[in-house]
Amino acid sequence: MCYKKEVDLRRAKPLSGDPVIVISTMDENGVKNVAAFGSYLRIGSTIILAIAPDSHTYKNIIRSKEFVINIPGLKDMESIMRASRAYPAGKDEFAAAGLREEPSLIVAPPTIRDYPASVECRLKWTKNEGSHDLVAADFLCGRCDEAYLDPAGRFDQVKAGVLHIVRYPEPVYIVADRYIQGIERM
């Protein structure tokens, strides 16, 4: 007998929960753009994102081949929501979202100063996959607010309150509240 009940995968979403990121890009006129993303796969220092091809983010990445992944925390909920609204082209979305910027180290699009961590990326390839395109990119360098680094130099996701979106497109998130140490070393 089956113990677990069969569910509608699109409703139950048992594998949802990627940490929410906000991608910053720049258009051909230097106008800065931000938007939230939650569907992606990270493998080592490569990331594959699912991005709607009609978004400013997608168009800017295809044109400039550069972007910054910014990692917000619990304190940043309001700006995540504001960054995700559909604004007309040519609008400075940093200003619209109430975000401050700082220069990136390698790429042209600025980094979000207010968020705990960031990773600069360069485009590798894209592939259409239904309503979204898969966008693969390499990590170039990363930065963290020192307030969220533990003594060993690791980014403290619990302290930062990294958010996981679990019922997209509903605005429902979870946040990890503690680290649990395994008994055996792997």
Ligand X SMILES: Cc1cc2nc3c(=O)[nH]c(=O)nc-3n(C[C@H](O)[C@H](O)[C@H](O)COP(=O)(O)O)c2cc1C
Q: Supply the minimum distance, in Å, between the C-beta of residue 36 and ligand X.
A: 4
- Side-chain half-sphere exposure of 121, counting CA atoms within 13 A: 26
Binding window for ligand X (CB under 6 A); candidates: 47-55, 70-78, 122-130, 142-150: 47-55
Kindly indicate which of the ranges 37-45, 100-108, 135-143, 153-161 contains the residues binding ligand X, using the contact rule CB under 6 A: 37-45
- Rounded to 5 degrees, φ, ψ at 121 are -135, 155
51 counts as binding ligand X under rule CB under 6 A: yes
- Neighbouring-strand partners of residue 71: 117
Single-letter amino acid code for the residue at 68: V
Instruction: Report the b/e string of 30-43 with b at 16+ CB within 10 A.
Output: ebbbbbbbbebeee
- Do 123 and 137 contact (CB within 8 A), yes or no? yes
- Beta strand pairing status for 66-71 and 46-51? unpaired
Binding mask 125-164 for ligand X (x = CB under 6 A): -------x--------------------------------
Indicate the length of the chain as a whole number: 186
84 binds ligand X (CB under 6 A): yes
Segment contacting ligand X by CB under 6 A, of 61-69, 81-89, 97-105, 176-184: 81-89
Q: Interface with ligand X includes 86 (CB under 6 A)?
A: yes
Pick the closer one to ligand X by CB: 63 or 154: 63
Candidates 47, 56, 67, 112; binder of ligand X (CB under 6 A) is 56
Which distant-in-sequence residues (6+ apart) come within 8 Å of 102 by Cβ? 110, 111, 112, 113
Pick from 19, 38, 109, 110 the residue near ligand X by CB under 6 A.
38
Q: Are 87 and 93 in contact (CB under 8 A)?
A: yes
d(CA 5, CA 3): 7
User: Which one of the spans 46-54, 100-108, 110-118, 176-184 is the region binding ligand X (CB under 6 A)?
Assistant: 46-54
Given the rule CB under 6 A, which residues bind ligand X? 20, 33, 35-39, 50-52, 55-57, 84-86, 93, 132, 165, 168
